[in-house]
Amino acid sequence: MSKYLIKANYNSDGAAGLAAKGGTARRDAVGKMLADVGGSIDCFYYAWGDVDAYLVVDVPSDEAMVGIALSVNKSGATTITTTPLLTPEQIDAAATKAPGYTPPGT
């Protein structure tokens, strides 16, 4: 299972739906969508400012996450950006595979 940070922003239709049904209903709907692809919510927080909601989710694959992003973004009510999250152990493994590099000018 891979973890992703999702930043969500609502347009006026999305905000109206959130106001009408509440935050827990939105969290439950997102949880169901994730479960449909074998995923789950790790955490879900609302905020104000540049981003309306922050989520950390567990999803089985990059392809499943891209499918989720396409579904949400095409709705028009919400726009999300997604950032893959890596564990320290994944960074350790990546570091052992880092190729040699010659910087410009050397």
Q: Which domains does the chain have, with CATH numbers?
A: 2-86 (3.30.70.920)
Euclidean distance between CA atoms 66 and 70, whole angstroms = 6
pLDDT digits (tens, 9 = 90+) for 1-27: 899 999 999 999 999 999 999 999 999
Mean per-residue pLDDT, 70-99: 95
Query: For 76, how many CA atoms within 13 A lie in the half-sphere containing its CB?
Result: 1
Mean pLDDT over 75-85 rounds to 95
Which of 12, 1, 10 shows the shortest CA–CA distance to 34? Answer: 1
From the list 100, 99, 54, 101, the residue with the least C-alpha distance to 81 is: 54
- CA–CA separation, 53 and 45 (whole Å): 6
Residue 29 has pLDDT above 90, yes or no: yes
Buried b (16+ CB within 10 A) or exposed e, 44-77: beeeeeeebbebebebeeeebbeebbeebeeeee
Q: What is the mean pLDDT of the chain?
A: 95
